[in-house]
Amino acid sequence: MYYVSKQLEISGAHHLNLDYESKCTNVHGHNWQIEVFCKAKELNRDGMVVDFSAISSVVRSLDHQDLNKIIDGNPTAENIARWICERVPNCYKVSVKESAGNTAIYEKD
């Protein structure tokens, strides 16, 4: 099995729709630290699991955006991780850190 990962940082705004009172229901932003993990049993014709630029393209499409307009449902760190994972070829796991000490990880079964 071959594994690759790529780390990126993006800035983005969002607000959360919550069942409880929270300051996160107000529009606010983060400098998101994102790590994307991909794997493949065999390399593609170019000798890669996935081109790193393909990972960058998906993640950078969120940069300086209102994530409520892009992410289906509530744009929590968990849902952002899933959204990225579903769009990157051969991706099996995504880690999204929205601030120091707050990280969400989505991993396919």
In this structure, which amino acid lies at residue 106?
Y
Query: What is 2-107's CATH topology?
Result: Tetrahydropterin Synthase; Chain A (3.30.479)
| Beta-bridge partner residues of 2 | 40
- pLDDT, tens digit, 9 for 90 and up, residues 36-88: 999 999 999 999 999 999 999 999 999 999 999 999 999 999 999 999 999 99
* Neighbouring C-alpha atoms within 13 Å toward the C-beta of 81: 22
Q: In the chain, where are the structural domains located?
A: 2-107
pTM of the shown model:
0.95
What's residue 109's pLDDT? 86
DSSP code of 76?
-
% residues pLDDT > 90 (the chain): 96
Helices of type H across the chain = 52-60, 77-87
Q: For residue 92, name the pLDDT band (cuts at 50, 70, 90).
A: very high
Q: Where are the beta strands (DSSP E) in the chain?
A: 2-14, 28-40, 65-66, 91-99, 102-107
Residue 34 structure tokens: 């994102």
Q: What is the dihedral of CA 96, 41, 52, 59, to 10 degrees?
A: -30
pLDDT at 18 over 90: yes
